[in-house]
Structure 1
Amino acid sequence: MSKIISVIGVIVFLLLSWLLVDTYVTAREPLIEEQTVAEERLLNAHSFAGITERQTYYGETTVHVFKGMLDGESHIAWVPASSEEDILVKQTADGVDKKTIIDTLKADGKPEKILDIRLGLRNQQPVWRAVYIAEDQRQYYEYYSFQDGTFLESISLKRS
């Protein structure tokens, strides 16, 4: 009797695991498809090669951000999800890196826990968005200029 219960338990576990994996894969399909379309659009517009990193930024507009090589130098491309909007390409060296933003946050003594730092577009300008939880237990969204790392704006939300 215990063997039957064990076999049923294993079968139920496997079915639930399969269901969870299938749900996850199905949920990610639209994002992967959007990124693929954005990547193809980038490659058709520029001779971008060796894409090393891709992220999606959800802000005022959805933007897919790609890091890779263009003309032998490291570049970053911001590809809006809307095909009517222009692709923005900048040399990586023309802006500050993620570590600079982390150092800025830590120097100001703000974050208790950094949740996310990613590139995006705000008012059609490249920005770094930092999301963190401060000591006051509020969640902050701070925007910094990609070009020089200057602080642009902060939005805070009360965590419940």
Structure 2
Amino acid sequence: MSVQRIIMMVAIVIIALVTAALLYYQSIQKPLWNHESDIAAKARDEAQLVKIDEIYKYVWDSPMWVVKGKTDAGDEQYVWMDQDGNVVLTLQAAEQISKDSVVQLFMQSHSGASIIRMQPAYVNNTPAWEIYFSQDGKYSYSFYSFHDGSFMDEYHLTGKTAS
């Protein structure tokens, strides 16, 4: 067997494995993508959004979807929807505190922290900004009011599980 033939066979095997992995990933993600597409369609219909900028899936008290988009007037809105796609709350972005302002507030009280993720949330029936961060090797969630940026609550994840 020549070196060229071995290289060709290895390349075919690699291509087959990559293709199988991509098909597997797609089959796993398809239900989520379909649900996300349904949520976007309902947000367009029920909240009169003409453009969807971002969709967040949020799970804390109960699963929620938060859709950020624009109306035909160009106003940016956040729409909170339950798992079934029913609109729970709609807020004009211009009337709320901005994401950047909340980051500044957070960093004032958490200097040295590294923000891993920040997204709209819904905690205790209240819209909030959720910040997932690490500081000193520990991971935590911090919540700030979506309206004015006031601190709401913070949860620290433990590094070990109880035995």
TM-score above 0.5: yes
Q: Is the 8 A contact 2:80 2:88 kept in 1?
A: yes
Alignment correspondent of 2:95: 94
Question: Which ranges of 4 or more aligned residues in structure 1 deviate by more than 6 Å?
Answer: none
Equivalent in the alignment of 2:105: 104
Amino acid at match of 2:142: E
For residues 27 and 88 of structure 2, the distance between their equivalents in structure 1, rounded to whole angstroms, comes to: 28
Q: Distance in 2 between matches of 1:110 and 1:12?
A: 50
Which residue identity is paired with 1:29? K
Moved more, 55-64 or 123-132: 55-64
- Corresponding position of 2:145: 145
**Unaligned regions of 5+ residues in structure 1, if any?**
none
Deviations 1:53-89 (A, max 9, x none): 2222122222221112235121111111135x54310
Give the structure 1 partner of residue 45 of structure 2: 44
Change (3 A) 1:111 1:158: farther
Instruction: Tell me the SS of whatever aligns to 2:115.
Output: strand
Percentage identity across paired residues of the two chains: 20
1:2 deviates by: 1.6
Q: What is the total number of aligned residue pairs between the two structures?
A: 158
Read off the aligned partner of 1:79 and give its amino acid letter: M
8 Å Cα contact 2:46/2:87 also seen in 1: no
Q: Secondary structure at the match of 2:48?
A: coil
Deviation at 1:110, TM superposition (A): 4.2
Partner of 1:76: 78
> Contact 2:47–2:79 at 8 Å: present in 1 too?
no
Matched letter for residue 103 of structure 1:
Q
Q: Which amino acid aligns with 2:129?
A: W
User: 1:130 corresponds to which residue?
Assistant: 131
Residues 1:109 and 1:143: Cα distance change in structure 2 (over 3 Å): closer
For the structure 1 residues 20 and 113, does the alpha-carbon distance in structure 2 shift closer, same or farther, using more than 3 Å as the test? farther
Give the TM-score taking structure 2 as reference length: 0.86
Aligned partners of 1:111 and 1:132 also within 8 Å: no
Q: Which amino acid aligns with 2:155?
A: I
Paired amino acid for 1:9: V
Separation in structure 1 between the aligned mates of residue 58 and residue 25 of structure 2, nearest angstrom? 20
Instruction: Report the counterpart of residue 22 of structure 1 in structure 2.
Output: 23
